[in-house]
Amino acid sequence: MKALWSAGLVGLIFGLGLIVSGMTQADKVIAFLDLTDRWDPSLAFVMMGAIGVHRAVYGWILKKPSPLFEERFGIPTRTDLDGRLIAGAGLFGVGWAIGGYCPGPGLVSAASGSGSALIFVAAMTGGMLAFHVAEEAWKGRQAHKAGFNGTTDGGTKIDPDTVLKLRS
């Protein structure tokens, strides 16, 4: 329960920071991304502030044996750049540049009832669901090509991801 309250408090602080800094205003974000005569550099200071706070606190936090409300830290270990990451970053950038929202500020703006933010969040959710469906279909085709029919000899269902990992 403490972890939920902690997450809620951090989310509230994050949302307030987005609103105060102007990151929930699509026009301000688009002006930041437009490097022509309309460029508004103010969001760079928001990002530098966030990076500075993170940099100062991250090392101190990792010196602790564990997080306050979890057994271990969930730190990513992958450091490679693959095609999926690069393609995803490109699509994210296109969506951000056109819409003026990234997911966090989009959700905060949608909570305020902004029509454009509500449409953005609905479309973002639709895109995520469409990707999930397409990815699952692709995995199923790959598993089928590998000779897997979805069950073991005893009839137990197995996730195609597991089969693909075992066969690679």
Per-residue pLDDT of the chain (168 residues; tens, 9 = 90+): 788 898 899 899 988 988 898 888 888 888 888 888 788 888 889 889 999 999 999 888 888 888 888 888 888 888 899 998 999 999 988 888 888 888 888 898 898 898 989 999 999 999 999 999 988 888 877 776 766 655 555 555 666 666 556 555
Asked if the structure places residue 68 within a domain, the reply is: yes
**pLDDT on residue 154:** 55
Residue 9 lies in a domain: yes
- The answer to whether residue 76 is domain-embedded is yes
Contact status, residue 160 vs residue 140, Cβ threshold 8 Å: yes
Owning domain of residue 13? 1-83
In a domain, 118, yes or no: no
pLDDT at 29: 86
At residue 34, the pLDDT reads 84
Domains held by the chain: number:
1
- In-domain check, residue 16: yes
Decide if 19 is inside a domain.
yes
Within-domain flag for 21:
yes
Paired strand residues for 157: 151
pTM above 0.85, yes or no: no
Does any domain span residue 154? no
Q: Which residues of 40-60 are buried (b: 16+ CB within 10 A; e: fewer)?
A: eeebeebeeeeeeeeeeeeee
